[in-house]
Amino acid sequence: MLLIFISILAILLWLINDELNSRQERLRIPVRQCAGCHATVESDWLVCPRCHTLLQEHCESCGKTHRKGENFCPWCGGNKQVGGRL
């Protein structure tokens, strides 16, 4: 009886440990930061909700949005001429 109890306890501890590990894994996912206020921002946000800094800009060649500050468009490879049109 005691052996069964210990076995169940061991399985429970293993499950808890597994859950904690996967949680830490999720926390390690790199996050983007706003260039203006260094707040954590989602990769598809257009503007930082905290300081209103522009996070994305439109490509002059293909019109798709990409991260602000990149010199080349990741979608079409076009070189950025002048700032975004947002």
84 interacts with Zn ion by CB under 5 A: no
Binds Zn ion by CB under 5 A, chosen from 40, 51, 69, 72: 51
Between CA 48 and CA 67 the distance in angstroms is 12
Between CA 43 and CA 65 the distance in angstroms is 11
CA distances from 78 to 61, 63, 66 (A): 6, 10, 11
Minimum distance between the CB of residue 51 and Zn ion, rounded to whole angstroms? Answer: 3
48 touches 55 (CB < 8 A) = yes
Site string for Zn ion, 11-40 (x = CB under 5 A): -----------------------x-xx-x-
Q: Which residues bind Zn ion (CB under 5 A)?
A: 34, 36-37, 39, 48, 50-51, 53, 59, 61-62, 73, 75-76, 78
